[in-house]
Amino acid sequence: MFIDTLIEKIKEKNNPTVVGLDPKIDYVPSFIKEEMFQKYGANLKGVAEAILKFNKMLIDSIYDIVPAVKPQLAYYEMYGVEGVRVFYETCKYAKEKGLICIADGKRNDIGTTAEAYSSAFLGNTKVDDNCMEAAFDVDALTVNPYLGVDGIKPFVNDCANFGKGIFVLVKTSNKSSGQLQDLLTQEGKSIYEKVAEYVNDWGANVIGKYGYSSVGAVVGATYPNQAKILRKILRNAYILVPGYGAQGGTARDVAHSFNSDGLGALVNASRSIMCAYKDEHWSGIYTEDKFNEASRAEALRMKDDINQVIGA
């Protein structure tokens, strides 16, 4: 079961964080760009190869200290077919290194289309009557609950059938999230509270041995007060927490998403780790050709930062 594997990886590495692999070509050090542009040309193929090398070097530098990575699909899709190939290759490489791979795609649609999305990322795709084959085969996927239960059920079914996980958007980290998510229902509860209640229901049949469900929630670090409320509602859900680091969330903010057992949340950082070599704190220590060492140092700093607050 996905959630049990995730928790065991977190315990093994004493690290409740996930590294977001959301690459732009601007993030890639010049020596990698120059090498790949010279070999493949200054085109989408060259960009994709540069990003793939960048991702692999990052993974090599962190796989032994973090439990998971989270590639954001948009950053690959914007480079077209070559970018989608790099997404696939990145996920495959991360899993070969023993990392859990969470695809951040925020997918959903009406029932049959949701089935197709779920088959692509979590389940199997039919080739013919005698053959089913995994396409992207990631461990978990972020999903959008806006279409209701018929858009969620295919993903939940594949969580049960294939040992995978999903994280449902509940309270996102962006500034305008309150336009919809904070609206009050006729019951006097906000939309995000109602979605959290549904998450409990949707995940009730995929609860693992540690008491947590493979149907989790996304709650941004930039809304710590809402996280306090949601932690009480989401009794069995693991919370994926974006917004730490570059978006302004702090360790004290993300602490509200954890339970008293020190579990219950997985905190994401993307730019602050990928681009650590550009940060003034690390740029004086690590040169550009040592960008991966800077990323490792920042990942360890983040781990200690969050563990210290959880422990307190």
**Which amino acids are annotated catalytic?**
106
φ, ψ at 106 (rounded to 5°): 50, 45
Contact 93, 59 (CB under 8 A): yes
100: helix, coil or strand? Answer: strand
Q: Do residues 218 and 172 touch, judged by C-beta distance below 8 A?
A: yes
Strands 237-241 and 265-269: parallel
Is the Cβ–Cβ distance between 2 and 140 less than 8 Å? yes
Alpha carbon distances (Å) from 98 to 5, 60, 199: 11, 11, 28
Q: What is the DSSP letter of 77?
A: H
The residue among 29, 31, 93 whose CA lies nearest residue 59 is 93
- CA-to-CA separations, 148 to 103, 153, 177, 256, in angstroms, rounded: 21, 9, 18, 27
Q: How far is it, in rounded angstroms, from Cα 129 to Cα 133?
A: 11
Cross-strand pairs, 104: 72
Q: Which of 71, 21, 3, 70 is nearest to 263 (CA)?
A: 3
234 touches 260 (CB < 8 A) = no
Contact 286, 293 (CB under 8 A): yes
Our CA angle for 189, 195, 197, nearest 5°, is: 80
H-helix or E-strand spanning residue 277: none
Secondary structure of residue 29 in the 3-state scheme: coil
